[in-house]
Structure 1
Amino acid sequence: MDPESSHSDLYRAYLQKYDVYKSVFNYTQALNNLDLALKEGVLTQDKDKIKIQIKVERLFVYFDLLDFDKVNEIAPTISKTDLAFLDEKTQGFYYSVLAVLEIRKKNYDIADTYLNEALVILEKSAPEHLPLIYRKKLGMYREQGNHDKVIESFEKGLYYAEQYETDIYIIAMYDDISVYYAEVGDYKNAHIAATKVNNLATEFNGHNRSSKLQLLEKNLLQKRKELEVENEKRNRNYLITLTGVLIIILLLLFYFFKSAKQKRIIAELETNNMRNELERVTQELNESGHTKLDLNAYNLTERQLQIIDLVKQGKSNKEIGEDLFISVNTVKYHLKIIYEALNINNRSEL
């Protein structure tokens, strides 16, 4: 395994190995890979879902092994609400397992309810597997001695098996009806069905032996491709999200930059307006007969004369401080001394 793989990647990889080992009936390795998949799966965000899925798959393995003690041990721990974590096909298979458990206890009505539920689910999600359910119905009706229902289940199961060209189900349906005919003493039909089974099995096994490795390889390549597509999709979603976040950040930065620029422009306009207004008022005072002060007649320092000159230019205390490299408080202090020395009340009289 790639040491850089995420827990989700490892979970899916082990689950794929489980499917492969189960398909070749190596249940020891199948269960081992289920354990490994669970170990990685509980470290992901979907741990609750994965726990249920692994538990159900483990149930299926023990069911295939006919280890009903284990099946009866696991089944009660799976609640109806847990089924929401399973896809519909798996739900259909799960109900078929519950039906078999009830058939073993002779609870045929309950078993029939489970089987009908499985039929409804699989008809929508995986109709190619409907023969599996009709086989279980055939077996249940065989135990009950209900001949008409046995034949009906066989015909329906065979119909779907042939419609979807599922050879293994076709063989299984003929095998089940052959056993039934033999049990009821209809040896003619039993022989016909058994011959059909032998012919189909010979054809199926010959083809199966020549293509088994190719099929496994194809399944592995398909699952690997699906994993790559899923990873690519996840990376694409990550990049889209990251791009969206970056765009939002850029828009916010642009907004703050534009807002700061507008505030600066407004501040400059206000300063210019104040300067123009001050110059206008000063000019009006001069024109109305106020005599300009003769600063040479007063004992003012060079710094005070600089401040007066800047005030006449319409600059604020802050701007004067910046020009002369002194604090605003120092400017205010000098202005107070200037006002007292010149016997004036405000800067407009300078």
Structure 2
Amino acid sequence: MSVAGKTTLARRTLLVAGVLSWIVGGAAQAQTDPLPSWNDGATKKAIVDFVQATTTQGSSTFVPPAERIATFDQDGTLWVEKPIYTQVVYCLDRVPLVVKARPELANIEPFKTVMSGDRQAIASLSMQDLEKILAVTLTGMPVDTFKAEVAKWLETARDPRWQRPYTELTYLPMQELLKYLRANDFKTYIVTGGGQDFVRVYAERVYGIPPEQVVGTAGATKYAYGEDGKPFLTKEPKLLLNDDKAGKPEGINFMIGRRPVAAFGNSTGDREMLEYTKTAGGARLAMIVLHDDAAREYAYGPAQGLPDSRVGTFTQALYDEARKNAWAVISMKTDWKRIFAWDP
């Protein structure tokens, strides 16, 4: 081979090696990105910077693993809460069974409205009406029976918009965030206004969060013995903890015993949890999800001129407080490449 031929071959070899290096390097970078469903930007950077700051040995912002507590609201933060909370759908679906067992409820509101099947009337039920329904459909049964019924319902129930199981409506970026935090020795908790027993049925399977790390609205239970002499617990119609608004930090103190260093929410119900987390000393991260993507999910506020909502209300006052107190606002539309795992 001539000198010119050898030179051309060498150049080609270098070119191929360079291309392969670029491809391999890009693939490696993609594999090491802990948050691939998040768009690059200030929000994603705030998460990564926080994790690095709190886990780097010798740093002034280092947080010992035992103190790495991260709390997440569920409805509207980890999964879809529109058009109505999943647990409320479950309770509405249970009304016919309850009325069958207690026929006197058929002519009593709000059970009469639910039994009518009038969707518009059902959607107009007040919070007080819904509380009555929840009280009747979530109590008066053994805890194990309740868990089995919820698990069975989740297998067949489908969301009306996407016709998928409710447990498939979790946000992929938040699932990645949960895994990223746990990979860095954070303990992740769900702190929800929803029923504690309800969420515990699926939290470990869906989010990787065991039942003992779910803090929610909790009712009393009563210890008793069955005819076979075996003990069991019955769900009682008595409220122990309303895990919403100020009840969230109260529940965190009661159930966890440590103040979070990171907290994530999406509505006025999460305000106090974010305050409680962010105002403590040291490195802290508070983030709040803004639903501003009607095409891929929903858009509601009324912050930033978005439509008002009874479910997951995010007021302009809350938005302004977030900006003032350096809570990062997560824009679904801007910050998330994908919303669901089954998105194309």
Bigger share in helix: 1
User: TM-score if structure 2 supplies the norm length?
Assistant: 0.24
Larger C-alpha radius of gyration, 1 or 2? 1
Question: Which of 1 and 2 has higher RCO (CA within 8 Å, sep 6+)?
Answer: 2
